[in-house]
Amino acid sequence: MNEKITQIKKFYEEAFQSLEKSKPLPYIEIRFYPYVGINHTIRVRDGKIFVRIAELCRDMPSVGQKALAHILIAKLLRKKVSSKAREIYSGFIKTEEIRDRALENKRSRGRKIISSAKGEVYDLDEIFDDINEVYFRDAIAKPVLSWSTGKTYRILGHHDSTHQTIIISKSLDDRKVPRYVVEYVVFHEMLHIFHPVEIRNGRRIVHSPQFKRNERTFEYIEEAESWIEKNVRNLKRKVLKQKKK
């Protein structure tokens, strides 16, 4: 075990003993893992604790590693996480250097499955162009547009800023689905491009007040939301039927 891992292991042991004074210290294994993003995991197996820290955080200073140890152990034990630990850890991962490294990692190693923008019923390229002209005055550069490879019902659309793609659920490429429903979902994802995610006081703001105001300008928003609400069970049934094949 190298010196860095030995030191980090001590942080986890100290955090455990501090948060769980009545229990004996378990075996703790620490490893750096090549996650694509800034992810960490902590698991208990056979009474042993296994920690996997994102490789991107290998060079995090000791004060940051100690704060992360407290956060992960607290979550494992379902204890309250110290606000000071959150502040210290967040201060590191929000640095421009780490964010740039994480973004580059996603671009080089992340994988986005693309099928086609032209579906059996609807053409996403055509819908994007119409919406861009009507609602955005052609201000949005066209990303990669694609129907999902499988049908879904929980998530009908997704915008990925890293890979510059908009994926729409294949469940909506159906003659029984009104065009305005597909347009509404595409419009929502385009708003994510128009209103990028904001970071305020350490929190990610995905749907800002301005985002929500703009979303209400969609001409058929009430009809689209009503249709989706009424038909979510039908979409779910089709998804489950597809999985059984």
Domain ranges of the chain: 3-109, 124-244
pLDDT value at residue 59: 86
Q: Which residues contact 154 (CB under 8 A, 6 or more apart)?
A: none
* Tens-place pLDDT, residues 66-80: 999 999 999 999 999
188 vs 111, more confident: 188
137 conformational bin, left if phi > 0, alpha if psi -120 to 50, beta if neither: left
Q: Tokens 């703790």 map to which residue? A: 28
CB-CB contact of 132 with 138 (8 Å): yes
* Least confident among 59-63, 98-102, 215-219: 98-102
Task: Give me the residues paired with residue 54 across strands.
Answer: 33
Say whether domain 124-244 belongs to CATH 3.90.245.10.
Answer: no
For residues 46-72, average pLDDT: 92
Using the predicted structure, report yes or no on whether residue 136 has a pLDDT greater than 80. Answer: yes
Distance separating alpha carbons of residues 140 and 223, to the nearest angstrom: 25
The overall pTM is greater than 0.75: no
Whether residue 138 is predicted with pLDDT greater than 90 in this model: the reply is yes
> Burial code of 196-215, b = ≥16 C-beta within 10 A, e = fewer?
eeeeeeeeeeeeeeebeebe
Is the C-alpha dihedral spanning 35, 41, 46, 47 positive or negative? Answer: positive
Q: How confident is the model at residue 232 (pLDDT cuts 50, 70, 90)?
A: confident
Topology agreement, domain 3-109 and domain 124-244:
yes
Mean pLDDT of the chain: 88
Q: Quick one: pLDDT band at residue 94, thresholds 50, 70, 90?
A: confident
Integer CA distances (angstroms), 10 to 32, 39, 48, 199, 241, in order: 15, 21, 15, 33, 51
- Confirm or reject CATH 1.10.1660 for domain 3-109, answering yes or no: no
Q: What is the pLDDT of residue 104?
A: 66
pLDDT of residue 243: 58
